[in-house]
Chains A and B, each alone.
Chain A
Amino acid sequence: MALVLNEDQRMLQDSARELLGSEAPVEALRKLRDERDELGYSPELWQKMVEMGWASIILPEQYGGLAFGFLGLGVVLEEAGRTLAASPLFSSAVVGASALLLGGSEAQKESLLPAVAGGELTLALALEESHHHRPTRIATTATAEGDGYVINGNKCFVLDGHSADKLIVVARVSGEENAADGLGLFLVDRAAAGVTSLRTIMLDSRNAANITFDKVRVSAGDVIGEAGAAWPVLEQVLDRGRVALAAEMMGYALECFERTVQYLKEREQFGALIGSFQALQHRAAHMQSELELSRSVLLQALSTVDEEPAQLPLMASLAKARLNDMVKLFTNEAVQMHGGIGVTDELEIGFFLKRARVAMQIFGDTGYHKDRYATLCGY
């Protein structure tokens, strides 16, 4: 367990801050939005991230990885959250790579992971089928045919689904619609026959898609793990995603908070700096206390991935629920404390507000994770 960053991790943090500050400030996201960029992220930035080793940060060395673990990943994602840097880092290098790493065959890992690490291949998880996170409520079917499967169904809210090279599709091989048993993970080329994707323009100006699978054929070699028994792998992949996302959300919260506290020290009303008003001081101080608690939870959750996977479900739900609530509070307070300028598009706080609402839904909202935590605690 490590609740304090070590020297290596702090150096990683510095280099991440430097690259993202110069190459991917919030202004870059605004540009992608205003120009209605088709890819939704900058390939040049992604290339630089890859060169920094971020796409391989959690991978073991044998697959071209840096083996920095999740504490290292968390440091980078937090910095990416501070500037709202759009990239396939989360969907491909965290979620996709984890699915292969935890569930894939040795052949799949050897052929695909180095390409993910090198940024030549991007992955996306096609999971959700309704407007709430319900990872076992899967109606998409995978029917055995010949030595492979045929996939039929509709997916929504597929992060980076319009741009990924390969999709990892969660489909049902057997069982009832809400059963954890009977699920499978299937690698599908986004360009394969029968795959239709619709990019959805969402309020965070990031990338998601609705994807239809119509009689899409996959070979036996494209099944990740055992078809029908994928739930334990999927659950762990989702928990890793939740913890990684919590790190990114910490970045949104911190950036909003620092900008807001700075504003409180500059803005004058009624002949005084508004930061001298106790009504605002107490709200800001309360936020600081929330920040301290969340910092401990996040660090513990990140190190749990690497060191105590048995504790991961509880820690992942704690981290996601807590960071969900925190970014909601922090973005709302940031807007309110900025006053009129806070609701203008010109001020970047609005970008954080919008991105926070999307992140809060990804892989489970607060209600989902409170329920899960309570269930894990036996009540």
Chain B
Amino acid sequence: MTAPIGSDMLDDLEQFRSEVRQWLEANCPESQRQPVVPEEQYWGGRRGTFASEDARIWFERMRDKGWTAPEWPTEYGGGGLTPHQARILKEEMKAIRARPPIYGLGLWMLGPALLEYGSEEQKQQHIRAIVNGELRWCQGYSEPGSGSDLASLQCKAEDKGDHFLVNGSKIWTTKADECDWIFCLVRTDPAAKKQEGISFLLIDMDDPGVSTTPIELISGESEFCQTFFDNVKVPKENLVHELNKGWSVAKALLVHERKLMAEMGADSPREALVPSVAAHEYLEFVDGRIADAEMRSSLVEYDMLMHAIGLTHFRTFEEKAAGVRSAAPLVMKYVGTEADQQKSELLLAMLGSRGLGWEGEGFSKAELDTVRLWAMSKAMTIAGGTSEVQLNVIAKNVLELPQS
């Protein structure tokens, strides 16, 4: 039976909210209360640097509170907050436009998976390091020959007694050239059927034999890399969960990745225009209405869609808190990234020729960013499982349709 929030709990939450508000007021430096540009984000790790002394202070105060990972257990350095409390923290941070003190795949993806599947030693070694921003993680799933068909991956790890010997490569490893460790799916049993011979391995990128090359994209960015493994020795204790059970770990992680991808539009470091706001600058109004009927219709469709998606985020959150399962989380990556593309196309249409600038003078930063975000949005429905793969997953796991 689900427990509705009682009035006592609501009072407690309001008390918590006022404490959080006071703490943030006292501890978040003024300079950390404005949108962050990419160069000023702190991603932690051995090579991580703070853009300013304020950024360092803000990070350290949040870290010491455990609020870099608000919902993780306090025994590993997390904040130990309930989902409701964590939501309040997020809301209060948003209200003063506080920057996230640290970014990273360790926080967003690996941590949740380790808390579920990791050994006690792995939790002790890695969770606290993630909370403290000591190491920066990247993800090694896709391979040049295994994109949508992830389970066909070939990068192999051979059992050599006290260690695995890893050979192969991983592609689309985000910012791998700036990361310290990589969590990988590797083939540990070549004879087993597809996903049954895959294991989940943690690899230190400083180990001999690991190398990384950036890949330039159509957007002009090169945040993705390809990472090569040439006879890399990985200690046995870096295997997460059981041998050949990596797929289960990956699945658990993908849920986090999907949520992340769906939210990424909102958290983008670029100056993202909000269509309903941009409309007032870029479109003609007559009697308080957008004169172009087609544009007005496209805009309202997008706004209604985002309203529905936002409500669904809230629903998944409430369901989680109530211990109710639904298919909602499984559709979020698909609807979120498709909506992001819809937004980008809409903005480009609204901006007209001002939305076609690539660089240099003659365009505002927001206009230039809109074009880059438009190009980046094309990758969003591909990375992390294409929209088509998402639909396959829904067809199989939710609708339980027969597989050919």
Contacts and interface: CB of A to CB of B under 8 A. Distances in A.
Interface in B358-404: 388, 390-395, 398-404
Contacts of A272: 402, 404
B328 A295 contact: yes
A3 interface: yes
B76 to A, nearest CB: 29
A285 B392 contact: yes
A280 B394 CA distance: 12
Contacts of A377: 276, 300, 303
A233 B394 CA distance: 43
A379 B392 contact: no
A295 B315 contact: yes
B289 A4 contact: no
Contacts of B304: 318, 321-322, 370, 373
B181 to A, nearest CB: 34
A336 interface: no
Contacts of A295: 312, 315, 326, 328
A296 B296 contact: no
B93 interface: no
B299 A4 contact: no
Interface size class of B (residues with CB under 8 A): 35 or more
B297 A294 contact: no
Contact of A289 (B296, B335, B388, B392): B335
B322 interface: yes
A67 interface: no
A292 interface: yes
B285 interface: yes
B399 A285 contact: yes
B391 A379 contact: no
B74 to A, nearest CB: 28
Interface in B296-322: 296-297, 299-301, 303-305, 307-309, 311-312, 314-315, 318-319, 322
A100 to B, nearest CB: 30
Given A261-B401, A300-B311, A377-B276, A281 B331 contact: no
Nearest to B393: A285
B4 interface: yes
Contacts of B312: 292-293, 295-296
Contacts of B192: none
Contact of B331 (A4, A278, A288): A288
Contacts of A7: 1-2
A1 B1 CA distance: 18
A276 B392 CA distance: 10
A289 B402 contact: no
A256 B164 CA distance: 52
A284 B400 CA distance: 11
Contact of A288 (B279, B300, B324, B327): B327
A269 interface: no
A275 B296 contact: no
A364 B252 CA distance: 43
Contacts of A280: 401
Contact of B288 (A286, A296, A378): A378
A31 interface: no
A6 B5 CA distance: 11
Contacts of B276: 377-379
Contacts of A288: 327, 331, 394, 398-399
A76 to B, nearest CB: 20
Given A276-B403, A374-B290, A379-B289, 7 more contacts: A265-B400, A278-B404, A280-B401, A281-B401, A296-B314, A374-B303, A379-B299
12 contacts: A261-B399, A264-B402, A276-B401, A285-B395, A292-B327, A293-B312, A293-B335, A370-B304, A374-B289, A379-B285, A379-B289, A379-B290
The 10 closest A-B pairs by CB, nearest first: A281-B395, A285-B394, A289-B331, A3-B315, A285-B391, A296-B311, A293-B308, A276-B404, A374-B300, A275-B401
Interface of B: 1-2, 4, 276, 279-280, 285, 288-290, 296-297, 299-301, 303-305, 307-309, 311-312, 314-315, 318-319, 322, 324, 326-328, 331, 334-335, 388, 390-395, 398-404
